[in-house]
Amino acid sequence: MIAPAHSGDAAPRVLVVDDESSILDSLRILLKNEGFVPYTALGGKQGIERLPELRPDIILTDVRMPDVGGVQLLSVARQVDPDVPVILMTAQATLQSAMQAVNEGAFYYIQKPFRNDELLAILRRAAEHRKLRAENSVLKQEIRRHERSTTSRPIGRSKAWMDVLRLAETVAPTDSTVLITGESGTGKEVIARYIHDLSSRVDHSFLSINCGALPESLLESELFGHVKGSFTGAVKDKAGLFAAAQSGSFFLDEIGETTPSTQVKLLRVLQQREVIPVGATEAQSVDARVIAATNRDLEDEIKRGHFRADLYYRLNVIAVHLPPLRHRADDIPVLAESFLQRSARQRNETVKSIDEEALDALLAYQWPGNVRELENALERAVILTSSDVITPASLPERVTARRAEPLVSERTPTTPTLEAIERAYIQWVLQNEGGNKSRAADMLGIDPSTLYRKLARYGEA
């Protein structure tokens, strides 16, 4: 008798799928005698039904079955567990079918009738493969844990930014959906990646898509996948990004740009954890954490009939708002230093410094493009500066231009309106509170919604 598989380890669980009960019985006896833990399923449909509960280490399945074939079972199995080795059995082997099986991700392709020792040798290789993948996964987790313990948080030191990071660190270990709001360029994807890196999904994919960058038909194909022939150009089946993000995180940037039709399908994903590819009739289960982001006021979009309220409430389980850079000026010097260090590494040059006058200009500018605009301005400065010090001359003119009113004027000063005084006072309180609107509303003694309405009227929401 051949030595038991996985000697010294937990016995591998093998799911055997065939449409002939006699074959299932004989294989169950063989595998049990050789140290495996066999489970059986009569037909592909029953095999698929048993996958989530059993989570087998190895799948051994016939290719031709009347209900669901082995290749289709293979596809579903890899969605449930991308690392599970699947061995296909067939009595009608051809080079073409073998190549198809390998392309679909089969571990091995064996022709019936086979010798017991041949099958057992393949099963042992599959078990060893499974064991090595598991050990590799554990090692990766240890490396990631070490990296997270030695890698600094996303750069910033202002109180407003530190509040954002603390909230991100609190929600990261959960599996809750997160909605990140803020102006363009504030670092929404940076925070989304930070949440993913601190989560239990860190060993799986972090995928992202800009929902406003694609037309509706193409966006839905990218998100949910499509089947062959579902539209012109669909020459083969394609898995969507939700399926590709299985067990990982999926970042939907600018979700406020989606159409009502796409919003309905996204709601289904969040409610039922399944997608229906374009042109398909059957749903596919998905397990991806959704992190969405927008620079729009979705509550306002709901009032205007442009965004579904039910989708908003599904997305807004955990809300993370990123303040604009003009409300966290303390972050500008450290961000600038980081950008200059990165630029020096990329160019293999000495790190350039910023003189005091140039830094004052950076601090005084309002940065409508936020962190992204700051990064671009410094990249331009590095290119234009031949010395090791960046001066105002190397910065964009819009950054260095002064817009202050003259201290002395022949004109008779006008009396400020009550609204102008109110606006100036609100801006002063907001600045003192680091851009935190909730604390500013508390200091002003008004409801946060009232503050948001006033800021919207001033064009500063």
Q: Would you say 14 and 60 are in contact if contact means Cβ atoms under 8 Å apart?
A: yes
Higher-pLDDT residue of 10, 204: 204
CATH class belonging to 418-458: mainly alpha
Q: Each residue of 324-348: pLDDT tens digit?
A: 999 999 999 999 999 999 999 988 8
Least confidently predicted of 396-400, 412-416, 437-441: 412-416
Q: Each residue of 237-284: pLDDT tens digit?
A: 788 899 999 999 999 999 999 999 999 999 999 999 999 888 888 888
pLDDT at 328: 93
Mean pLDDT, all residues of the chain: 86
Count of CB atoms situated within 10 Å of the CB of 215 = 8
Going from N- to C-terminal start, the domains of the chain cover: 13-134, 156-323, 326-400, 418-458
417 class by beta-carbon count within 10 Å (0-12 exposed, 13-18 middle, 19+ buried)? exposed
pLDDT at 93: 58
Residue-by-residue DSSP string for 205-266: -EEEEETTSS-HHHHHHHHHEE-TTSSTT--S-EE-HHHHTTTSEEEEETGGG--HHHHHHH
Rounded Cα distance between 429 and 425, Å, is 6
Buried b (16+ CB within 10 A) or exposed e, 261-291: ebbebbbbbbeeeebbbbeeeeebebbbbbb
Q: Would you say 245 and 288 are in contact if contact means Cβ atoms under 8 Å apart?
A: yes
Least confidently predicted of 32-36, 212-216, 217-221, 432-436: 432-436
Domain 13-134 shares a fold with domain 326-400: no
Contacts of 364 (CB under 8 A, 6+ apart): none
Determine the CATH number of domain 156-323.
Answer: 3.40.50.300
Q: Each residue of 55-88: pLDDT tens digit?
A: 899 999 998 899 998 888 998 898 888 889 999 9
pLDDT at 347: 87
Lookup: tokens for 262 = 């796409």
Q: Would you say 256 and 295 are in contact if contact means Cβ atoms under 8 Å apart?
A: yes
Q: Which single residue is written with the structure tokens 């599996």?
A: 175
Rounded Cα distance between 35 and 3, Å, is 8
Mean pLDDT for 199-206 is 92
Rounded Cα distance between 435 and 367, Å, is 14
Which listed CATH number (3.30.43.10, 3.40.50.10860, 3.40.50.2300, 3.40.1190.20) goes with 13-134? 3.40.50.2300
pLDDT at 228: 83
Rounded Cα distance between 123 and 36, Å, is 9
Rounded Cα distance between 401 and 397, Å, is 6
Phi, psi (rounded to 5 degrees) for 369: -90, 5
Please state, for a pLDDT cut of 70, what percent of the chain lies above it.
87
AA letter at 39: Y
Lookup: tokens for 325 = 């850079």
Q: Which single residue is written with the structure tokens 């709001």?
A: 181
pLDDT at 215: 87
178-181/318-321 β-pairing: parallel
Q: Each residue of 354-400: pLDDT tens digit?
A: 999 999 999 999 999 999 999 999 999 999 998 999 999 999 999 99
Strand partners, 208: 251
Q: Cis omega before residue 113 (within 30°)?
A: yes
Lookup: tokens for 14 = 């093998």
238-239/225-226 β-pairing: antiparallel
Lookup: tokens for 9 = 């380890």
* DSSP secondary structure letter of residue 203: T
Which listed CATH number (1.10.8.60, 1.20.120.1810, 3.40.605.10, 1.10.1040.10) goes with 326-400? 1.10.8.60
Q: Each residue of 151-174: pLDDT tens digit?
A: 458 999 999 999 999 999 999 999
AA letter at 111: Q
